[in-house]
Amino acid sequence: RKEVEQDPGPFNVPEGATVAFNCTYSNSASQSFFWYRQDCRKEPKLLMSVYSSGNEDGRFTAQLNRASQYISLLIRDSKLSDSATYLCAVKPGNQFYFGTGTSLTVIP
């Protein structure tokens, strides 16, 4: 079983829509969780860490559900500039494990 699994999409949504991504992880000992954004042919860039209590940064909200072992990312009022691939990452020990990414395209 993979350490981290994501729906690859693609998600095609109109501007202004709300979209949510989920990411499941297999290691219940995982302590740290992250969402990264990756643009085409570029390196991943940290979008936000995911804290137990959930956290929000502008239009982005991240949540953690330890009981069901998944993290989520909600994007409200989607902008064209949100088009990218979103990777989740989980850190159960010294290694980071990344999902394969979910592709988002925001359509005018």
Partner 1 sequence: DGGITQSPKYLFRKEGQNVTLSCEQNLNHDAMYWYRQDPGQGLRLIYYSQIVNDFQKGDIAEGYSVSREKKESFPLTVTSAQKNPTAFYLCASSIQGLNYNEQFFGPGTRLTVL
Burial of 43 (0-12, 13-18, 19+ CB in 10 A): exposed
60 binds partner 1 (CB under 8 A): no
87 binds partner 1 (CB under 8 A): yes
Distance CA 98, CA 18 (A): 24
43 binds partner 1 (CB under 8 A): yes
Looking at 24, 44, 71, 73, which residue binds partner 1 (CB under 8 A)? 44
Stretch that binds partner 1, among 10-18, 41-49, 57-65, 71-79 (CB under 8 A): 41-49
